[in-house]
């Protein structure tokens, strides 16, 4: 049942190319148009939406943050992302022109369900991105976009995260198609998304050094993660995986925040993962993140740098360079998070911990 792997988590990490490919399957018709037939809303209704609010918890909320960058950039619709348990008790400004999108692997997370119910009471339209057919959250939402990651058994989410991000991209592109009538850009992103599974595959084949780094870090007390733009939620997800699996204090920061406080944490030997954007990104943040690496290195940090193949600028300041294949800037999280998952899994294993069932956690949190 573990497909030859020692743990469900390891199997699920290796399932990720399929999780992405299967989530993309059957979303386009013969003309290349996206068809999402379970949206529960007409195209006219979708055109009337003036704001989107994404509600989710934990890893699913980080998928939501990635979605915000992509959907705002492509569809030019304002997107807020909020932890479901905060949204529910905050008196949010929501009406019938708001599209509330919940993201949940299990479809049973009570905090997320309560947020969806609250959104409906306020008159919003609701869509759920969910991995579990017939679960409560999609049943109570107006529409659903199912992720096709297959059952996720390990408590720590991996393949569901990639599938959630993929589904959010599809939703964003669908909104472009419906609201902006710009089909060309859509085809280009879809084509690159189709290429992602093979890139994850090749990335997974090159993880030996990451595993080695993890095994030598079993005594580490704290690890920091820096990222910017879509790399920021990836940094937070990398930190969450490490907390959950290896019980190591870990924090993810937006790299731009460094000088506003967190740089005080840097002392000699402090390991810091840095998720570097592509040198070709149109947002032009590559140079800024390379400067951040330089700054923390000068203060003694041990820099573990996740950078695109061919990015030589990082090399002088990196103690380790972990390479990821090239892709479009907004799609990079589907690749950059993978080494961080493998790192947490391997470190947890090196400490002799229960990877699939970390202490104090349940697979789905059905209480508020």
Q: By the criterion CB under 6 A, which residues form the site for ligand F6R?
A: 57-60, 104-106, 109, 112, 156-157, 240, 244, 364-365
- What is the rounded CA–CA span in Å between residue 328 and residue 308? 11
Cβ 83 to ligand F6R shortest distance, Å: 10
CB 3 within 8 A of CB 153: no
CB 261 within 8 A of CB 226: no
- What is the rounded CA–CA span in Å between residue 247 and residue 114? 29
Angle formed at CA 356 by CA 351 and CA 358, multiple of 5 degrees: 65
Q: What are phi and psi of 224, to 5 degrees?
A: -105, 150
DSSP assignment letter at 276? P
Cβ 186 to ligand F6R shortest distance, Å: 27
User: Residue 78's Cα: distance from chain center in Å?
Assistant: 19
Is 363 in the active site?
Answer: yes
Cβ 282 to ligand F6R shortest distance, Å: 30
- What is the rounded CA–CA span in Å between residue 177 and residue 182? 6
The catalytic position among 2, 51, 211, 363 is: 363
- What is the rounded CA–CA span in Å between residue 154 and residue 8? 5
Quick one: 84 or 203, whose CB is closer to ligand F6R? 84
The upper half-sphere exposure of residue 258, i.e. CA atoms within 13 Å in the direction of its Cβ, equals 24
CB 130 within 8 A of CB 147: yes
- Positions annotated as catalytic residues are 363
């Amino acid at each position: 049942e573990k497909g030859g792997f020692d743990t469900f988590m390891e199997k699920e990490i290796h399932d990720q190319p399929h999780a992405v490919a299967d989530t993309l399957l059957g979303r386009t018709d013969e003309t290349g148009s996206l068809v999402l037939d379970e949206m529960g809303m007409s195209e006219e209704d979708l055109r009337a939406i003036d704001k989107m609010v994404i509600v989710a918890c934990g890893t699913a909320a980080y998928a939501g943050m990635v979605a915000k960058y992509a959907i705002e950039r492509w569809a030019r619709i304002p997107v807020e992302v909020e932890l479901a348990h905060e949204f529910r008790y905050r008196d949010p400004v929501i009406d019938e022109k708001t599209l509330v999108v919940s993201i949940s692997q299990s479809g049973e997370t009570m905090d997320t369900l309560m947020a969806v119910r609250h959104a409906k009471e306020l008159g919003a339209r609701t869509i759920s991105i969910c991995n579990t057919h017939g679960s409560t959250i999609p049943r109570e939402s107006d529409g659903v976009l199912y992720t096709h990651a297959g059952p996720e058994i390990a408590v720590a989410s991996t393949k569901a995260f990639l599938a959630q991000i993929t589904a959010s991209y599809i939703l964003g592109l669908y909104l472009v198609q419906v609201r902006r009538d710009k089909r060309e850009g859509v085809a280009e992103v879809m084509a690159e998304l189709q290429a992602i599974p093979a890139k994850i595959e090749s990335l997974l084949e090159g993880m030996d050094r990451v595993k080695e780094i993890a095994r030598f870090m079993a005594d580490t007390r704290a690890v920091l993660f820096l990222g910017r733009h879509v790399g920021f939620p990836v940094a937070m997800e990398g930190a969450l995986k490490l907390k959950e699996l290896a019980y190591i204090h870990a924090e993810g920061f937006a790299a731009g925040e460094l000088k506003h406080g967190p740089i005080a944490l840097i002392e000699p030997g402090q390991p810091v993962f840095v998720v570097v954007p592509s040198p070709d990104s149109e947002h032009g943040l590559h140079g800024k993140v390379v400067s951040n690496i330089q700054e923390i290195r000068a203060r003694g940090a041990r820099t573990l740098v996740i950078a695109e193949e061919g990015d030589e600028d990082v090399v002088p300041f990196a103690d380790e360079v972990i390479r990821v294949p090239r892709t479009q800037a907004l799609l990079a999280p589907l690749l950059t998070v993978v080494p961080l998952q493998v790192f947490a899994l391997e470190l947890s294993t090196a400490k002799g911990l229960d990877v699939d069932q970390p202490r104090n956690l349940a697979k789905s949190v059905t209480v508020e």
